[in-house]
Structure 1
């Protein structure tokens, strides 16, 4: 780490009597650092925490944050992402609030992170997309405000529900059955079943021999739990189909097995 001490001259304007100092070459006004250090902090602050960059360079954390914010604001003002053919809309729970995430699924890149997932905010963002008619497919979860925003702004796009959010509903249904059965058990059995929940949520081909024995113990004792697990597995199996025709047949078969 190197510190530069520079003696700078101060001048007075004869006309207005204000004082000023001329710009030093290779220095950044307002930050009292070299251009090289400033560029380094800009780059590293995008890849590491502010505290890490501050400790590495000997700067105050606030200085690092100010440099990052200035650069991020510049990039946000001038950089424009290519409007994707396949747009992904999802959310992230961050700082006690859901934030909408928009991605380019084909390129596997992030487009933007919005402050909220409210319909008006998402609609406003989609309205500002350049060449938004290029969007052919939108992948999302089942949050209705997303669907309404896409229908209003991207009527030409086909909406596809993300597989992750659909199959999660099967796990949620199995969880409800498991929690219902726990109420019928002794406290020690209830704690054991709670600890074994991850085994029941696994796919059948993913469980180990030991886990299979544990699962068979529970499903053997509780036929309702076995039925729920088998329904979950058959539901997951729909996505193992390689064609639309096979998937539709698997879905019809799965629906037919659901008790009336």
Structure 2
């Protein structure tokens, strides 16, 4: 017998050929599968059990009353829409003489979608805007939000968190507190993080004192907090002192260096516009702005050559590097004296921009020195700043968020999905 086929026979075999895809539903039996007119794959299922329990009298019933089709939408198989047709049987109880429908344990009562489809929608909604996901899956935006919340709920409960905004929060020993802009210059929000576990605890609207106090009051055991890392915010510190009187405020060293660098950039920019430094600093300002250890030997030599001609700029650079060295080498015993010496040096020979920056060191001196109390643990807001950058990326991807609840969930679950 010849094994060769005509073109028509080959096309017919290609249409009928396929692979068997497990549905992971051991309690169901597949009756048939077929292609529908719209190009979707339809699979007909029925439960393997022959009996059902009456919900009224709890008697086991075998007499089937009738059978009705229930259409369930499933995730696509490759690029083909998938539809499951579930034959739900109705039984008649011999004791109470009432008909009842067998329970739907696989998909849930009155569900028109499968659990896999709802999970897929929820996972995609964790990284994409709700409107985009709704358009992609051809479902409503409210349904996408429900799928996302259903996916996020168990992930949050594993960390002791909740979808509700008023529930108590787990209390670590070290907290990180910072703000981020939802609409820069108009609307801000506050993020609270667990620095020990590297997790976000909550994100709430507003950054003012009356906004931060309710957030901190939600901590389950506030007396357990030992340190709160933050920037030099005028609203965060009073809120922490009011709600966490036993906690030590630690001004993040990154923000301290950033504060000094802002003043130092003014010095470099001023010299770059002066006649003496215009040629010397042409395309060379980065040699003073970068950290000393990141410069090559040739770059260090070039920077020293420029500094020998611009003595005031050289003094400002040395003061900047002295502060960085202080953070890297000081201990709890030597930190205060070394900081006082640095402040005196800035007052004596520092440029005006650096002297003006000293007001922050005077106001926040004890909070800056608190950084050394917890060594070798470096209490820092680095994790919080990273989460803020990720939040900005999420908002750019969605062209902004009007609903803080959706943004809050995306921040809380992080990379868990």
TM-score, L = length of structure 1: 0.77
* Partners of 1:177 and 1:220 in 2: CA distance: 16
Per the alignment, residue 255 of structure 1 pairs with 343
Per the alignment, residue 234 of structure 1 pairs with 322
Gaps of 5+ in 2: 1-75, 89-100, 155-161, 349-417
1:77 to 152, 164, 175: 164
SS at match of 1:4: strand
The answer to whether structure 1 residue 45 and structure 2 residue 125 are counterparts is: yes
Q: 1:255, CA displacement in angstroms?
A: 2.7
2:246 to 156, 171, 186: 156
- Counting only pairs closer than 5 Å after superposition, residues 1-260 of structure 1 correspond to structure 2 as 1=76, 2-4=81-83, 6=85, 26-27=106-107, 32-46=112-126, 48-50=127-129, 54=133, 58-60=137-139, 62=141, 63-69=143-149, 72=152, 75-77=162-164, 81-96=169-184, 97-185=187-275, 189=279, 193=282, 195-260=283-348
C-alpha contact 2:228 2:249 (8 A) present in aligned 1: yes
* Partners of 1:186 and 1:66 in 2: CA distance: 65
SS at match of 1:77: coil
C-alpha contact 2:125 2:133 (8 A) present in aligned 1: no
SS at match of 1:200: helix
C-alpha contact 1:83 1:135 (8 A) present in aligned 2: yes
Aligned length: 246
Per the alignment, residue 15 of structure 2 pairs with none
Q: With a CA cutoff of 8 Å and minimum separation of 6, indicate the structure with the bigger relative contact order.
A: 2
Which has the larger Rg?
A: 2
Q: 1:201, CA displacement in angstroms?
A: 2.3
Deviations 1:202-244 (A, max 9, x none): 2211112343244234323322211111000001111122521
SS at match of 1:106: coil
SS at match of 1:101: strand
Q: 1:30 to 1:53 in 2, by over 3 A?
A: farther
SS at match of 1:257: helix
TM-score, L = length of structure 2: 0.51
C-alpha contact 1:123 1:153 (8 A) present in aligned 2: yes
Q: 1:49, CA displacement in angstroms?
A: 2.2
* Partners of 2:287 and 2:182 in 1: CA distance: 29
For the aligned residues, what is the CA RMSD? 3.7
Q: 1:198 to 1:30 in 2, by over 3 A?
A: farther
* Partners of 1:31 and 1:184 in 2: CA distance: 73
Q: 1:35, CA displacement in angstroms?
A: 1.7
SS at match of 1:89: strand
Q: 1:182 to 1:153 in 2, by over 3 A?
A: same
Q: 1:113, CA displacement in angstroms?
A: 1.6
* Partners of 2:189 and 2:170 in 1: CA distance: 22
C-alpha contact 2:228 2:248 (8 A) present in aligned 1: yes
Normalized per residue, the structure richer in strand is 2
Q: 1:93, CA displacement in angstroms?
A: 3.1
Deviations 1:80-131 (A, max 9, x none): 5421111111122343243222111111111112222111100111122212
* Partners of 1:65 and 1:211 in 2: CA distance: 54
